[in-house]
Structures are given as structure tokens and as C-alpha cells.
Structure 1
Amino acid sequence: MKLKVTMLALVATLGLAACDRVDPNSPLGKRTAIFEQMMQTSEDMGGMLRGRLKFDGEAFAQGAVRLDELSRQPWQYFPEVKDDERTSARDEVWERQERFRSLARELEQATARLVEVSRAKPLTPEQVAPVMQQVEDACEACHQEFRVY
């Protein structure tokens, strides 16, 4: 009897946990995956600039290209009408779409500048740090206006 109760509790817990999952093929799932990739890429790049990782100019330049590619992708997965209540995006994303898209373009421009600067050989942290800061600032500006923390 005790085993049945324990198993029932386990199944119920797993069932509830599964309800909280996001469909990876939904707009929310797709944009979340892209944002996670952006975060991982920028974390490594920032780590190189902050001394957490050894600076590798080639790896940094590759990261800049990857970040630029990623910066252009998530916006297509924000539909015109809010799609999911569990999103970490504020309602303002859908209420102020022009401003949201403007900040998205600012990020894209900043990552494009980072790619350009990262083409220098040899590449040094001093060359890329100010432009990487612009990328981080663009991310932060959008998060401050449009993300629920």
C-alpha cells in the first residue's frame, strides 16, 4: 500500500512538472532557445574580456559572428498578439511593438559593429571591449523595458 501511495505521488509530481514545459516548436520555445544561445555565446565572450577565460582572438571573433547571427533570429518568434502567459516578456512587447522592434534593431547594429571590429588581426581585448559593452548595453536596455524579472 505504501508503495502504491509513493508511486502515485511520484507520477503526480512528474505530471505537474511536465505541465510547466514549453513546447520547443512553439514561438515561445523557439525564441527562448535562441536567447539561451545568445546568453551562452556572450557569456564566453564577456568571460574573455573580464579575465574569467583566457582571451582568444579567433574564438572571440567566431563568437561575434555567432552572436550577430543569433541577434537577428528571435524577433520573428514574437507574434503580433501575445501567445503565452508563461513568457518572461512584459505585455509592453505587444503594446509597444514599434519600440520593441527599434531596440531589436539597435542590438543587431551593435552585433554587426562587433563583427567588424573583431576582424582586426591581431585582435586584442582593448579593441573589442567598448563595442562588446555596446552589445551588452543594447541587451540590457531591452530587458529593462520589456522583460519580467
Structure 2
Amino acid sequence: MFIRRSLLVLACVMLSACGGVDPHSPLGQRKAIFKHMLNTSEELGGMLRGRLAFDGPRFSEGAVKLDALAHEPWKHFPEVKESDQTSATDEVWKNQARFQALARQLEAATGELVVASRVQPYDISRLSPAVQQVEDTCSGCHKVFRNH
């Protein structure tokens, strides 16, 4: 009976290791960062579009968080594609110069969002274009470098 249970537990552990992405791998780390970026961006956009109540200080904190996150995922793209589980297209590795240029554009756009979010009183008409620029930059990169 003990051996049977031990084998069952071992099988469950082995199966749970299959199919997942190692959270410590470059792929796992960048996926986690991109997920945080998406959640933060959605919150900011939700405040501007009326899906969430606008909270100026919270918006400003979110802009700073998004800017910090925007500088992080690029270091988790190794020189050679490490997995077929990635949503990144092969273009990431074939056209590194363009990929890095778009990464810098995102960093600049989130930096501009931080600047806009510090101006008081908070003005949605001033913040909306900055958020739109971030969203457009993300979308532009996804069109070339992400499998949808």
C-alpha cells in the first residue's frame, strides 16, 4: 500500500512539472513581467475610460510602476530562442536592432507618462494621450514580434 501511494504521489509530482513554464527561466520571468505590465496598463486605461474610478495618486503610482516594469523584460530575451512555448516570433532574434529600438520607444513612452502623471491638478485630457502612446507602442511591437 505504501509503495502504491508513493508511486501515485511521484506520478502527480512529475505530471505537475510537465507543461508549465519554469518561473525562473528567462521565458517565465519575462512572461511574469509582461503580465504585470498588462494589468497595470489596464488599470490606468480603465481609470481614464471610466471603467474604474479615477484616483490621481493611484494613477501616478501606476505610471511609475509601469515605467519601472517597461525596463525589465528585455534582459530576459536570450540571444538565441530558448523555447517554442514563447509568444515571441522568430523576428525577435532575427531583427534584434528593431526589437531593441521598439523596447526603447516603450521606455520613452512610459517615461513621458510618468511626467504627465505628476502634473497637478490631474487632468484626464492630458493623461489620455500619454496612455494612448504607451498602448500604441505596445501594439506596434506586438504586430511584428508577438504571435497572437
| Aligned position for 1:98 | 97
Distance 1:47 1:15 in 2: 41
CA offsets, 1:8-44, max 9 Å, x none?
Answer: 8xx9788556411000100000000000000110110
CA offsets, 1:26-80, max 9 Å, x none?
Answer: 0000000000000110110010011100111111110000000000000000011
Unaligned runs of 5+ in 1: none
| Aligned position for 2:120 | 121
Distance 1:82 1:116 in 2: 35
TM score, norm. by length of structure 2: 0.90
TM score, norm. by length of structure 1: 0.89
Alignment size in residue pairs = 143
| Aligned position for 1:68 | 67
Distance 1:16 1:53 in 2: 40
| Aligned position for 1:53 | 52
Cα 1:88–1:13 change in 2 (3 A) is farther
Distance 1:36 1:99 in 2: 22
Distance 1:148 1:14 in 2: 31
Aligned alpha-carbon RMSD (Å): 1.8
Distance 1:92 1:101 in 2: 12
